[in-house]
Amino acid sequence: MLVSIIIPVFNVEDYLPECLDSVLVQTHSDIEVILVDDGSSDSSGNICDNYSLKDSRIRVIHKDNSGAADARNAGIDISSGSYIAFIDSDDRADPDYIEYLLGLCTDSGADLSCCSHRVLSKGKESLYRFRKNEPGLYSGNHEVMRAFMSTRLLSASVWGKLFRRELFADVRFPEGSTFYEDDATLYRLAAAADSAVLGPEPKYLYQVRDGSLVQSNSPSASLRLIDVMNEQLGLIRSSYPELTSYAKANIIMAVNHCVMKYAEYGKFSTAPIPELKKYYREYERDFLRGISYMPAKLFSMTAYISIPLAMRIYRLLHKSYRAEL
């Protein structure tokens, strides 16, 4: 069964060969690898072309830079696999990554599957663990969305997952989006799925590196996540009203993230405090009743009382944490 693996590529010449080597040795060999060079200014584009000469399963698209969302959409549009997977170009997959995810889908008949992953940061690996519920099969559209909203088992990334291509019939990544495109897309894919299965094995290696888009997004860009969660709340209210409290809690999660970003960059005077405070007043109770860990709840309670105080405490602790690394 053909699986399309879509890999957006942008200025990752130091990481791309390892990524591609991990993909080309997949134990499930019936794959097409779609490399979307998003206007790289280093040798990444050449690396893509050279690998395509070595393996006929690789297809390369070269396009002007417009972000990972547009790159993924370009890959989806030319893909032909029964299932679609995404891999970030600075990450790596275990040899049986696709076989494992595809087996989860075919054995259960699920529309999407998800595996656990490992995180590589500063040369050290750590294991991501699912929150609360055990992995397994979630049958029925509302159960899939409940798993996504109430336990975050599916997580907000599109890598580490396999999607039946029909899920993308009416879903694309937000055009022109540079940040939080996964957050803006995955809940809509969950809304299109009738079943999802989660496997506990960590088959994907996510790499934290300086200079990546995830690490370099600005405080003002973090406001986009709040917009995404407001859009999510609209869908939940209309189609899954029983999950509304979880969507409200996700807005506070996004607001916390935004406050931390402004604190991390020392942008105390430019933080939109009145706007952020409005969200704390409206949705704090839902967040405190939700599934977040206690440190997040303590931070949120502090910000509810005083956002500047929460920013100063976070900045102090953040500096201490970085000093220990």
For residue range 1-47, what is the model confidence (pLDDT) as tens digits?
A: 999 999 999 999 999 999 999 999 999 999 999 999 999 999 999 99
Q: Which of 110, 115, 116 is nearest to 167 (CA)?
A: 110
Q: Which two tokens stand for residue 298?
A: 């303590």
Q: Encoding tokens for residue 8?
A: 């957006």
Separation between Cα atoms, residue 109 and residue 196, nearest integer Å: 9
Residue range 128-150, pLDDT digits in tens: 666 555 678 999 999 999 988 98
In whole angstroms, give the CA distance from residue 145 to residue 8: 27
Task: Return d(Cα 205, Cα 120) in angstroms, integer.
Answer: 7
Q: Where are the alpha helices (DSSP H) in the chain?
A: 16-24, 44-54, 68-78, 97-108, 141-150, 181-192, 213-216, 219-239, 244-264, 273-288, 294-305, 307-324
Q: Give, for 5, the enclosing helix (H) or strand (E).
A: strand 3-9
Tokens coding 152: 């975050």
Task: Note the pLDDT of residue 216.
Answer: 53
Does this model's pTM top 0.85? Answer: yes
55 C-beta neighbours (distance < 10 Å), count: 12
Distances (CA, A) of 32 to 6, 26, 95, 240: 8, 11, 15, 36
| Cα-trace Rg, the chain | 20
Question: Please, which residues have CB within 8 angstroms of residue 136's CB and are 6 or more apart in sequence?
Answer: 197, 198
> CA 293: distance to chain centroid?
19
CA-to-CA dists, residue 284 to 201, 246, 301, 314, angstroms: 34, 11, 8, 19
Q: What does 76-144 look like in DSSP terms, one character per residue? A: HHH---SEEEE--TT-EE-TTHHHHHHHHHHHHT-SEEEEEEEEEETTEEEE----SSPP-EEESHHHH
Q: Write out the chain's pLDDT in tens, 325 residues.
A: 999 999 999 999 999 999 999 999 999 999 999 999 999 999 999 999 999 999 999 999 999 999 999 999 999 999 999 999 999 999 999 999 999 999 999 999 999 999 989 988 877 777 766 655 567 899 999 999 998 898 765 677 999 999 999 999 999 999 988 789 999 999 999 999 999 999 989 999 999 876 555 555 689 899 999 999 999 999 999 999 999 999 999 999 999 999 999 999 999 999 999 999 999 999 999 999 987 889 899 999 999 999 999 999 999 887 543 433 2
Q: Measure the CA–CA gap between 296 and 288, rounded to whole angstroms.
A: 9
d(CA 71, CA 14): 20
